[in-house]
Amino acid sequence: MKTKAAEAARWLLAEHEARRRFGPLPGALSPRTTDEAYAVQDAFVALRAHRLGGISGYKIALSTPVMQQFVGVDTPQAGVILESRVLRSPARVRSADYVNLIVEFEIAVLAAEDLPAADAPFTRERVMQAVGAIMPALELADDRNADYASLRANPLDLIADNAWNEGVVLGQPVTDWRGIDLAAVRGAADLNGRRVGEGRGADALGHPFEAMAWICNHLAGLGRGLLRGEFVITGSLIATKTVKAGDRVEFALEGLGGVELSVE
């Protein structure tokens, strides 16, 4: 499986570099199980890390039942965020650097201590003890003009392709978060000054710390842990938006500040 995973990862990297439309992996390379899909993801991330740096954080995709049903799965999916793709608000990116840039509106959670595999299984209450800060976040993803209908037939390919992550924009860390009800906190997204969506913390897996616990248990299943200084973006509270050159994106969370992105 390692040889197959490495070959699949090289195929994915070539697809990205050629800026081809997202499509299913060739039959011989297509993952048949979740374990195979994450093995491909690991190999693909390792190839990209040579240029983009090591792991700084993790994302959780398909964090709502509606999105899971849309893609044809019954569980969230995890992805990795690499060091050079972590931007601070206010951030600027170039539309030309992506095939089709999409943005999601999230709550990021920063770990203040290690959460090793040996401590699994993790609960919301356990991971809460390790939280150092909360931040508003914009996930930057590139769906490469995917045919979402065909994705349903090959949902494991999304895992293999690192859940489409191409980075994140983080707001200022809020360390005095314990008095905030993170399930009830409201978020609002504006695109070019126009309100395009609202949501609340419970919209992603019921609570941001449930999403963090899910990531920690996922990593433990791979024999790894969430490390001090790493972060988790916990799922979009608002429907994904496609953005283009000239767009300005703003996302604000009650009591937690905001985050801004300009697309050139």
11 located within any domain: no
The pLDDT-based confidence of 2 (bands split at 50, 70, 90) is low
Q: Flag whether 204 is in a domain.
A: yes
- 29 part of a folded domain: no
Q: What is the mean pLDDT of residues 43-69?
A: 90
The residues that bridge with 252 in the sheet, in sequence order, are: 188, 258
pLDDT tens per residue, range 177-203: 999 999 999 999 999 999 999 999 999
> How many other C-beta atoms are found inside a 10 Å radius of the C-beta of residue 214?
22
Q: Are 213 and 124 in contact (CB under 8 A)?
A: yes
pTM: 0.95
Q: Contact, 110 vs 136, CB < 8 A?
A: no
Cβ(224)–Cβ(214) under 8 Å? no
CATH, residue 236: 3.90.850.10
Within-domain flag for 14:
no
What string of DSSP letters covers 131-179?
EEEEEEEEEEEE-TT--HHHHTT-THHHHHTGGGEEEEEE---BS--TT
Residue 48 inside a domain? The answer is: no
| Residue 76, in any domain of the structure | yes
Of the candidates 105, 59, 102, 57, which has an alpha carbon nearest to the alpha carbon of residue 78? 59
Structural domain contains residue 160: yes
Q: Which domain holds residue 247?
A: 55-263
Instruction: With cut-offs at 50, 70 and 90, classify the pLDDT of residue 1.
Output: very low
Answer yes or no: is 222 within a domain. Answer: yes
Q: Which pLDDT tens digit goes with each residue over 13-22?
A: 999 999 999 9
DSSP characters over 70-135: HHT-SS-EEEEEEGGGEEESSEEE-GGGSSSEEEEEEEEEEESS-B-GGGPSP-HHHHHTTEEEEE
Dig out the tokens for 183 from the structure.
């399930």
If one counts the domains in the chain, the total is 1
Res 69 pLDDT > 80: no
What is residue 5's three-state secondary structure?
helix
